[in-house]
Structure formats: structure tokens, C-alpha cells
Chains A and B, each alone.
Chain A
Amino acid sequence: MIPAPFSYQRAGSVEEALDLVTEHGDEAKFLAGGHSLLPLMKLRLATPEVLIDLGRVPGLSYIEDRGGHVAIGALTRHREVETSGLLVRELPLLAHAAGQVGDPQVRHRGTIGGSLAHGDPASDLPAVILALDATLVARGPSGEREIAAGDFFQSLFETALAPDELLTEIRVPKPATAGWGFQKFTKRGIDWAIVGVAVQGHSVGLVNMGPAPLRAGATEEALAGGAGPREAAALAAEGTSPPGDNNGSPGYREHLARVLVRRALEQATAGP
């Protein structure tokens, strides 16, 4: 499978990346780890005329303690997130979930920024970022802005990022309650989630339960009102619209969401 021809530009800095995308407009796409974009290009579902490779942009791969939150550069690879001592200590949900993305080779290439910017509801990290109430930082021609995770994911492969905006940083607040849980239901040992659940305290993010990554609002409300895991998890599928495909019908996914949310909440309550 050979992608359609394109011209290749290697950005040497954030400014250069932004200049290039302004110059080439709709024809251009950013390339980070390439582990979502390249498969789509091979299938010719994506046919950008210009690829702007972010791979050499310095200073976009880091994990830093900033007191109340941890700041992660958009180009930080899944493997770095998975193995960061700081994240394992402060944000174990994120480190653990990054370690469940694909396989070792995928984690060596894929980046957290690419995973979020791609806006795939079947991806693991968007649900985690939602449950952790992170803030995403974007740079565009008119400067920098912050986007709350809750406003970032809009629809299937659609995010709040404008085509000429670059995601630069993810700021994840250190959680007030330590309990976390992560559940990923797969057909094979290593696979995309048929349904996934990320829990931090009383926040619950869902993987693959609608056109965009979303939170289990009814479950969260019940938890805030004092409901236990079992009772709250029964509401997990409310307000969702899961897809049907050859891995499962919408009804099956709703069932999975209820079971997995219960397990994740119990995991969060039981502690590590």
C-alpha cells in the first residue's frame, strides 16, 4: 500500500511549523509519530499534498513538574509517558493507560499530542485526559490559547484545533483523590478497545462510546450524590451513542460500559 505523493517539509521550530501550515493551508497536515496518519495515507483515506514533519521540532518532548500540574510536551512519545517516574508517581492513570496503547513498537513512535489531536473516539488517551480534567495548549498564527479537555473533543476525528493550530502542551492537574481505575476490553491481548473506561476519583472517561470521547455524566452525578460503584455504574451508558461494528453492536457496548465502569470504580476504591 503506497500513499499518494506529497511534498515533505521538516519543521525546525514551532514558528516554522506554523509558517508552513499558513503557507500551504488546507493541503497541509502535521506529521508527529505517524501512527494514525500513515496508516490512513496508505489506505488513501488521507491524501495531504504537504506533510509538515514535527519530528525534529526541539523542545516539544518533555514531562515537567509544575507544582499543581504536570506539563507534557505534545511530541512526548507514549513510551516516555508510560515509563516516566514523575507520572507513575503523580498521575499513575495516565502512565498506565499510555502503556496499554498498541504494542511496544507503536508506543515507541506514537505521541500524546498526535493521539489527542487525531480525535479518534477509539483511542485510550482522550478518555484519560477527560477524566483528569487536563488543559490543552495550542499555538496558532494569532498566538497561544488554552482549551479545556471537555471542550476539545467535538466529533469523530474533530477537535477544537483549527487546521493551522499546533497542539504544544498538555497540562494535567495532580488529582485531589488518589483512586484511579483503567479498564480496556479487547478482542485480542493487544488491540484497540471495544470499550474502555478511565476513572480518577469521581471522574469517568469513556473510550468508544460515541462519535467523540466523552464522560459518563450520569454516573459522575450519581457518585457525587453518594452512590456506590455498582449503583453509579448502572447509569454508565446514559447519554452515550456507541457505534455498531463487527466488534460489537451498540447494545453490547452499552452493556460493556456498565460492567467496565463498575470494575474501574471498584479498582479506584480498592487502591492499587
Chain B
Amino acid sequence: MTIIYEETGAEGGPEIPQQRVTIRVNGRKVIAEVEPRLLLAHLLRHGMGLTGTHTGCDTTNCGACTVLVDGRAVKSCTMFAVQAEGREVTTVEGLATQSELHPLQEGFKEEHGLQCGFCTPGMMMAAKALLDRNPDPTEEDIRWGLSGNLCRCTGYQNIVKSVLWAAEKLRSQSAG
């Protein structure tokens, strides 16, 4: 895997340290040689081509880069790839199966939970972390659970409806 930085130190300067990391990404084991300063978001996007994880603000504010690390929503722009050693990372690409969308993806489609779609992967991953712990959230729970994610288009109303839709579908699936 090659990642090119805008600045890699002068020629003949100190050698850039490399570190080996082993991570499971969407169930697949990945081994990479990375610079310790490589952000998890960049390993996913540039290293692995999983461009569903967006980087919006790069300052831990917008949540577009949200992924699950061992089931918990984190902002992958604020974690070094080396910190994910041995962890299980889930990105938006890990939601759907070959044949079926995840209920969250269906929900966003049914309830028009997106306009430009930039925030959507992060919204869905934050929502997944929420629903995994709380399958029957109130509207308030959802707003609180998504409070680390910004959307510049929708006004949030339909995002909340999308997550409610998904929660109901997931509950009926597990009941059925």
C-alpha cells in the first residue's frame, strides 16, 4: 500500500518510521505497513479504497468519518491507524450484504434521509452504534445519539425518521 504525503522529510533526512498493523475491516483481516502518523480515515480511504468513509472537517466536529471500532462509533479522522491494531473496524461498506441493503440504508432511502449524501455514511454508522445498544430508541435518543454528526442539507428531521424506520424494521426482523 502506498500513501504519499505532501511532506515526507528532506532527502537524506531521518528515516520515516513504519509500523505494521493488523486490523479486521468489515470482517476481513488486513495487514498494512504504515507510518504511525497515518490516520485511520486515510488508511480506510486511500489505503483500502473504502471511500464511503468521508472526511469533512478533519477536526473531529462533523462526524462524516464515523466508523465503528469494536462496535463503538468513533471519528476515524481522530485516531491513528496504529491505535486500531487488533480491533474490529466496520465502515459503511460493511452494512449491506451482496443482495440486500441494511435496514438503515433502506430507511434513509424510504424517508429521504439524505440530500447531497456527504454526511450519510457517518450518520448511518453513528445510528448503527446507537441501535446496536438501544433497539427501540425515542426520537430524543436518536437526536442525542447523532449529536456528533453534522448535516448541512436535510435539517435532520428526515434523518431522525430514517433511523426510526430502520429501528422498526430491525425489531420486526429479529421478532420474525
Residues of A within 8 A of B (CB): 1-8, 10, 31, 34-35, 38-39, 41-42, 51, 53, 55, 79, 102-106, 108-109, 189-190
Contacts and interface: CB of A to CB of B under 8 A. Distances in A.
Contacts of B79: 34, 38, 109
A189 B147 CA distance: 8
Interface of B: 5-7, 9, 14, 16-17, 19, 35-37, 39, 58-60, 63, 66, 72-75, 78-80, 82-83, 85, 126, 129-130, 144-145, 147-149
A42 B80 CA distance: 11
Contact of A34 (B6, B9, B66, B78): B78
B36 A103 contact: no
Given A8-B19, A39-B59, A106 B37 contact: no
A8 B18 CA distance: 9
Contact of A42 (B58, B147, B148): B58
B147 A190 contact: yes
Nearest to B55: A1
Given A2-B5, A5-B16, A108 B73 contact: yes
Contacts of B149: 103
A8 B37 CA distance: 9
Given A104-B145, A190-B147, A7 B17 contact: yes
Given A5-B17, A8-B19, A105 B9 contact: no
A105 B126 contact: yes
A39 B78 contact: yes
A105 B36 contact: no
B90 to A, nearest CB: 14
Contacts of A8: 17, 19, 36, 80, 82
A4 B144 CA distance: 35
16 contacts: A5-B17, A8-B36, A34-B79, A35-B78, A39-B59, A39-B60, A53-B82, A53-B83, A55-B83, A79-B72, A103-B63, A104-B126, A105-B60, A105-B63, A109-B75, A109-B78
The 6 closest A-B pairs by CB, nearest first: A103-B148, A8-B36, A105-B148, A7-B17, A108-B72, A3-B37
Contacts of A35: 60, 78
Of A2, A104, A189, most buried by chain B (CB within 10 Å of CB) is A104
Nearest to A49: B14
A34 B73 contact: no
B82 to A, nearest CB: 5
A49 B59 CA distance: 22
Contacts of A4: 37
Nearest to B38: A2
B146 to A, nearest CB: 8
Nearest to B125: A105
A29 to B, nearest CB: 13
Contacts of B16: 5
A6 B36 CA distance: 7
Contacts of A42: 58-59
Nearest to B70: A108
Given A2-B37, A34-B80, 14 more contacts: A2-B5, A3-B37, A5-B9, A5-B35, A5-B37, A8-B19, A10-B82, A38-B79, A53-B82, A55-B83, A104-B129, A105-B148, A108-B73, A108-B74
A176 to B, nearest CB: 32
B18 to A, nearest CB: 10
Contact of A104 (B9, B19, B82, B148): B148
Contacts of A5: 9, 14, 16-17, 35-37
Of B39, B75, B78, most buried by chain A (CB within 10 Å of CB) is B78
B57 to A, nearest CB: 10
Nearest to B122: A105
Nearest to A4: B37
